Chains A and B, each alone.
Chain A
Amino acid sequence: MKTGALASTLAHGLRGRGTRFWLLAAATLCFGIASFDPAVRIEREVGTYMMVFDITQSMNTQDVGPADARIGRLDFAKQLAISALDQLPCGTQVGVSIFVERRTQPLLMPVDVCRSRGSLADAIDHIDWRMAWAADSHLYYGTYSALDDIRRMAPGAALAFFTDGHQTPALHPGRIPSWDGKPGEVPGVLFGVGGESPEPVPKLGEKGRIEGYWTPEDTAGFASAGAPTLSVADMERMGGDIRNAPQRAPGSENDHLSLRRDDILEDLSQRTGLATAVARSADQVARQLRALPGGRTAETRMPLRPLLALAGLALLIVSLAPASVARLLPARARPASRLTPVST
């Protein structure tokens, strides 16, 4: 019965001291421990992502964001990406790259989202359509280039490509560039940015003001990428006035208007194994990126001081609460009645 005796002694001491004493003692302990900066190391699944931004001119189309304050697609994508940084756990690495013409150009290889948050936000914020070295937009080549960059320079990273899917000049059917990689080898998401109805593509001046819009006359002058080269014999066999017939891809009459081309993103996804999604919120972008396979575990430090300080604060205040307030607490936490008769 030794343990029983010990317990009863303890219970007696506890009763003698009163609940308020023990609450205060616990508060003191919490404050004491929190004075030294205690922390626990927790392991978290984190990923590495290469964020690629399509900076071709169709991305300047102002058809995304809240209905009463439409902003350009690129600006919207940048906002989402910067807010998404804050929703990725520390230890996650993010790199930044831009796409125009047929190629991607990495600006920043992956760095830690917490330690280099300022630099990442700086790099993303400064992305601008004026960084373009050419005006064409061959999205298939661009996506393959983004995947190649990852394979060559940042193995293990996943791709987050923000694009509207608009290609200029349009491709001839059956002339779609193929990819020599293995689908799914590099995981990633193609985030579609843009509205669902065709909108005019603005021409921006040097200061970023809209100075006009692309017209059918402008786009009619585009080269027709991938048009089959016909010999004279072919033309004769096919009859008609082939030589003077338009050589542009069918369906490209409305190339001066732009909308989010989910069909093209879908086709790209079939070829490369990348997922597709419409980019709506930073929350969703961060969630979809975190769901991608190929993460690694990283240790992050979780400071305990806020937790201990809060607990101490609550305990201290409860220990001081007058009986009328304490009665509101559940019965077991209620301090011993102050009118308990004391044996002397």
Chain B
Amino acid sequence: MIAFDHPQWLWTAVLALLPLLWHGQRTLAHGWLPGVPHDPASRVLAAALRTLGALAVLAAALALASPHRQGEDIERIGTGAHIVITLDRSASMSDGFAGRGAQEGDEAKGRAAARLLEDFVRERPRDLFGLVSFSTAPVHGLELTADHDAVTAAIRASAAPGVGLTNIAAGLTMSLEQFKDKPVTGSRVVLLVSDGAAQIDARKQNQIRRLFAENRSALYWIFLRTAGGRGPSDPPDPEKGFDPAPEYFLNEYFRDLGVPYRLYEADTPDALARAIADVARLQNQPLRYRETPPRQELGGLFMGVSFLCSLLLLVARSLEVPAWSR
């Protein structure tokens, strides 16, 4: 189907009626018209010239409205994914990593994550990305989009120092909502990047489990370890008395979600880079997806039609007889 960017210009198509009424041809006086023999060829030529004029105006009017054709989606097999990056922007993301040799002045976790995620986005030009960040409250960044300029801009914005707490449940819910009512045209991934965890209450747990199942999304959790902090793979130590170990229980909960899940613990920027590379590799599994072919501009074509019609009219005009020849 042909669609128009500026349909208001289609009104100029009305002008195509004028050439049907006006011919603009040179007329020559003749003494006695009934004496002119009946000439069907001339009548056909006259009609053809008028039609050419109308066609030229019509095509120009259509060209003015910027016509284009959006092709049917084609099914392709390739590597494409819909990735909602779910970023922790709590205050602790401004701290450094845990790894050995960590010292003052090292790159903050938030900043390292932003830098590496930017590269990740740049290397995956065919994927759609969404962005959700969360601290005390979830913050909608971007809807799933192919506008990678905006995605990297949103990731760069997340390198600003964070504020508030780590409300993972709200962030995950908002991320999963992004898949709602959208066609499944690529593998779906929630890429959770956080440096802490929080307990998720039973009601929220059920809600998130249901959302994961409904939206058929995989989950990758990149956990950035803080110096002196614990990780998801450290079970709580009963010797130490009460130990909530939210990271450990959150990991257990994620493993039990019933969707593809992987955990990466990164305690240095290098480990984070390796984790992101691994996610990239996993997401390069072939998958079936529908791709919309780039739209086809038809303005030039219509303009060409106008040109041809106009040129033919010009030829006809140049053949006009200035006077009755003997």
Tell me the bound Cα distance from A338 to B19 in angstroms: 19
Residues of chain A at the chain B interface (Cβ within 8 Å):
16-18, 20-21, 24-25, 27-28, 31-32, 34-37, 95, 97-98, 101, 103, 105-112, 115-116, 118-120, 122-123, 126, 128, 130-134, 149, 153, 305-306, 309-310, 312-313, 316-317, 319-322, 325, 338-339, 342, 344
Contact of B137 among A120, A132, A306, A325 (CB under 8 A): A132
Q: Within 8 Å CB of B149, what residues of A? A: 111-112, 115-116, 119
A37 touches B300 (CB 8 A): yes
13 A-B contacts (beta carbon < 8 Å): A28-B313, A34-B303, A34-B307, A37-B297, A106-B157, A116-B147, A309-B63, A312-B306, A313-B61, A316-B60, A317-B18, A321-B24, A342-B323
Comparing B158-166, B205-213, B233-241, the segment that makes contact with chain A is B158-166
Closest B residue, CB atoms, query A94: B153
A37 touches B299 (CB 8 A): yes
Q: Within 8 Å CB of A118, what residues of B? A: 145, 147
Is B222 an interface residue, CB under 8 A from the partner?
A: no
Closest A residue, CB atoms, query B318: A21
Q: Within 8 Å CB of A103, what residues of B? A: 161, 163
A31 touches B60 (CB 8 A): yes
Is B33 an interface residue, CB under 8 A from the partner?
A: no
The 0/1 profile, CB within 8 Å of A marked 1, for residues 290-323 of chain B is 0000000101100110110011011001100011
Q: Within 8 Å CB of B184, what residues of A? A: none
A316 touches B56 (CB 8 A): yes
Tell me the bound Cα distance from A153 to B161 in angstroms: 11
A309 touches B64 (CB 8 A): yes
Tell me the bound Cα distance from A305 to B9 in angstroms: 13
Contact of A149 among B57, B160, B314, B322 (CB under 8 A): B160
A-contacting residues, B33-77, CB 8 Å: 53, 56-57, 60-61, 63-64
Q: Within 8 Å CB of A133, what residues of B? A: 135-137, 163-165
Contact of A108 among B53, B153, B297, B303 (CB under 8 A): B153
B157 touches A107 (CB 8 A): yes
A-contacting residues, B114-154, CB 8 Å: 133, 135-143, 145, 147, 149-150, 153-154
Tell me the bound Cα distance from A140 to B2 in angstroms: 54
A-contacting residues, B1-41, CB 8 Å: 12, 15, 18-19, 22-24, 26-29
A107 touches B154 (CB 8 A): yes
Is B156 an interface residue, CB under 8 A from the partner?
A: yes
A306 touches B303 (CB 8 A): no
Is B188 an interface residue, CB under 8 A from the partner?
A: no
B323 touches A305 (CB 8 A): no
B27 vs chain A, min Cβ distance (A): 6
A302 vs chain B, min Cβ distance (A): 14
B53 touches A320 (CB 8 A): yes
B147 touches A309 (CB 8 A): no
B150 touches A119 (CB 8 A): yes
Closest A residue, CB atoms, query B50: A320
Is B89 an interface residue, CB under 8 A from the partner?
A: yes
Tell me the bound Cα distance from A174 to B145 in angstroms: 48
A106 touches B160 (CB 8 A): yes
Q: Within 8 Å CB of A153, what residues of B? A: 156-157, 159-160
B156 vs chain A, min Cβ distance (A): 5
B303 touches A21 (CB 8 A): no
B83 vs chain A, min Cβ distance (A): 16
Tell me the bound Cα distance from A176 to B15 in angstroms: 67
Q: A24-B314, A119-B147, A320-B53 in contact; A344/B323 too (CB < 8 A)? A: yes
Q: With contacts A31-B56, A112-B149 known, what are 10 further pairs, Cβ within 8 A? A: A21-B314, A95-B157, A103-B163, A107-B157, A108-B157, A116-B149, A130-B137, A305-B299, A312-B60, A313-B15
Contact of B63 among A28, A34, A134, A319 (CB under 8 A): A34
Q: Within 8 Å CB of B139, what residues of A? A: 98, 105, 107, 131
Closest A residue, CB atoms, query B325: A344
Q: Within 8 Å CB of A37, what residues of B? A: 297, 299-300
A25 touches B314 (CB 8 A): yes
Closest B residue, CB atoms, query A97: B157
Q: Within 8 Å CB of B157, what residues of A? A: 95, 97, 106-109, 153
Contact of A320 among B19, B163, B300 (CB under 8 A): B19
Q: Within 8 Å CB of B145, what residues of A? A: 118-119, 122
Q: Within 8 Å CB of B323, what residues of A? A: 342, 344
Q: A116-B149, A123-B154 in contact; A28/B141 too (CB < 8 A)? A: no
Q: Within 8 Å CB of A122, what residues of B? A: 142-143, 145
Q: A106-B160, A109-B153 in contact; A31/B310 too (CB < 8 A)? A: yes
B134 vs chain A, min Cβ distance (A): 10
Tell me the bound Cα distance from A298 to B136 in angstroms: 40
A306 touches B19 (CB 8 A): no
Q: Within 8 Å CB of A339, what residues of B? A: 29
Tell me the bound Cα distance from A17 to B314 in angstroms: 11
Tell me the bound Cα distance from A28 to B311 in angstroms: 6
Tell me the bound Cα distance from A152 to B187 in angstroms: 37
B280 vs chain A, min Cβ distance (A): 23
Q: Within 8 Å CB of B63, what residues of A? A: 34, 305, 309
Closest 4 CB pairs of A and B: A119-B150, A133-B164, A320-B24, A106-B157
